[in-house]
Amino acid sequence: MSLFIAYPVLAAVPGALFLAGYLVSRRPSNALAAVTWIGYSAYETAMRLRWLCTGECNIRVDLLLIYPLLIALSVAAVIAFARWRMNRSRAG
């Protein structure tokens, strides 16, 4: 995850993938994961540019909340998409 701190734009990649998953499946969990990842990318970019953090930003307690949230939403979105695919393949 520290890769996303060094290169915040990379956090938009999972966001784009979840957005694509939403456009295909219309699962709300995929949309929520996409918005969260893209929002995190913007947030981390602002942190890197020192817009949200003036001075010493080495201790990032905020990530103790953000990373588990991103992981939980991502897992839920992947499961929802997989269930959608399974149901779709069974139906036809």
Q: What is the pLDDT of residues 52-67, one digit of tens each?
A: 887 777 788 899 999 9
Question: Pick from 38, 50, 27: which is nearest to 4 by CA?
Answer: 38
pLDDT for 92: 64
* Count of structural domains within the chain: 1
Domain extent, residue 71, equals: 2-91
Q: What is the mean pLDDT of residues 30-59?
A: 91
